[in-house]
Amino acid sequence: MRQKKYSDLDLDFIRNPLTNDISLKYDEESIKRSLRNLLFTGRNERLFRPDMDAGIRRLLFENFGSIQIVTLANRIEELLANNEPRLDEVSVEVIEQEDQNNLRIRIYFRARNLPEVNTLELNLERVR
């Protein structure tokens, strides 16, 4: 049996039926939750870290081109490198889907002390 190395609260606040406590996320799921939180944090949303921002919200309203896609991928890699110490390797792929008016972001990562490479996939849509 593999030992659990990382754990975080499940932010859906689902109750564990056995303990009556909030459920936990472990290992890869814990890290994926943390990555989502980092990516969707805007400027001035974190106390004592007002500069923590990948700029995703600002870039969603730009006209997309290769420069904006590369800029977004670089900002995400930099944000994760500076704020997620559990990761050893990170690679970001941004795919523009013009016909659906959204961006698909794939983050490939390998966590420290965990052997496999994992993927987190997010779709970002413009709603206006």
Domain ranges for the chain, please list them. Answer: 7-125
Give the N- to C-terminal CA distance of the chain in Å, as an integer.
48
Reported as a single tens digit per residue, the pLDDT across 77-124 is 999 998 889 898 999 999 988 777 788 999 999 988 788 899 999 998
| Tens of pLDDT, residues 31-89 | 898 898 888 888 888 778 777 887 777 777 677 778 888 988 999 999 999 888 989 89
CATH of 7-125, one of 3.90.580.10, 3.40.1190.20, 3.10.450.40, 3.40.50.150: 3.10.450.40
pTM: 0.80
CA atoms lying within 13 Å on the CB side of residue 54:
28
